[in-house]
Chain A
Amino acid sequence: GAGVSQTPSNKVTEKGKYVELRCDPISGHTALYWYRQSLGQGPEFLIYFQGTGAADDSGLPNDRFFAVRPEGSVSTLKIQRTERGDSAVYLCASSSQGGNGYTFGSGTRLTVV
């Protein structure tokens, strides 16, 4: 597509539930990133994919968070047993060369109640 697409744009879930957030990167972009942005702060790195593999998952806060990119295109961020502290905007970005010229999606606003 023309840009990075993230769905859903908003997600409200109850504490303890499981959620999946989807990212569809720009066609042909091999690098894909997930970031999390809390109110009033800059984005914080979660995980980086080069192709199908997670090249760097050092930003995932704990084992409740997991992400996949099985075919090297669409990625899904999965959060188990959600907590109120997981509430944030989850941003996805892609680039044609690792680390340069990011294009961000519009984000998914996750609210855990």
Chain B
Amino acid sequence: GIQVEQSPPDLILQEGANSTLRCNFSDSVNNLQWFHQNPWGQLINLFYIPSGTKQNGRLSATTVATERYSLLYISSSQTTDSGVYFCAVPPGGYNKLIFGAGTRLAVHP
């Protein structure tokens, strides 16, 4: 089945720093989603981004479907950005999502 790899697995930032999280996937997909899981466990959908670039405030995401990767950019990080970031893709046109193992981000004041 499709493999989803995220890097780095762990990231520690000082408040105000910028970062880039990467998601590689092993097969062609027709959509990709980025999620943030906060320290209380709530999963929030950040982006639905099958291709191209989208921006939402300090966050932006770019997916290059032909090269099978997506990037999530966090600018001017805040402590509330802490948590785990997951990317997820649907295998072969199915509606279910296959999640990566996540990037654990800690932003310190």
Please encode chain A, from 14 to 32, with 1 for each CB lying within 8 Å of some chain B CB and 0 for all others: 0000000000000000010
A103 to B42 CA separation, bound complex (whole angstroms): 10
Asked if A42 contacts B31 (CB within 8 A), the reply is: no
Report whether A102 and B45 are in contact in the complex, using a CB–CB cutoff of 8 Å: yes
Residues of A within 8 A of B102 (CB): 41-42
Q: Which residue of A lies closest to B93 (CB)?
A: A99
A102 to B31: give the CA distance in the assembly, Å. Answer: 12
* Given A31-B95, A42-B100, also A104-B48 (CB < 8 A): no
A102 — which chain B residues lie within 8 A by C-beta? 33, 35, 45, 97
Chain A interface mostly: strand
Asked whether B96 lies within 8 Å of A59 as measured between CB atoms, the reply is yes
Question: For residues 34 through 93 of chain A, which have their beta carbon under 8 Å from a beta carbon of chain B?
Answer: 41-45, 48, 50, 55-56, 58-59, 89, 91, 93
Which of under 10, 10 to 19, 20 to 34, or 35 or more describes the interface residues of B?
A: 20 to 34
In the complex, per-residue mask of B71-90: 1 if CB is within 8 Å of any chain A CB, else 0: 00000000000000010101
Query: Assuming the A-B contacts A33-B96, A43-B99, A48-B96, are A100 and B31 also in contact, with contact meaning beta carbons closer than 8 angstroms in the complex?
Result: yes
Output the least CB separation between B105 and chain A (Å): 15
* B59 CB within 8 Å of chain A: no
Would you call A101 an interface residue if the criterion is a C-beta within 8 Å of the partner chain's C-beta atoms?
yes
Q: List 17 A-B contacts (CB under 8 A).
A: A42-B86, A42-B99, A42-B100, A43-B86, A43-B97, A45-B97, A48-B95, A50-B95, A56-B94, A58-B96, A98-B95, A99-B90, A100-B31, A101-B33, A102-B45, A103-B45, A106-B42
B residues whose Cβ falls under 8 Å from a Cβ of A:
31, 33, 35, 40-45, 48, 86, 88, 90, 94-102
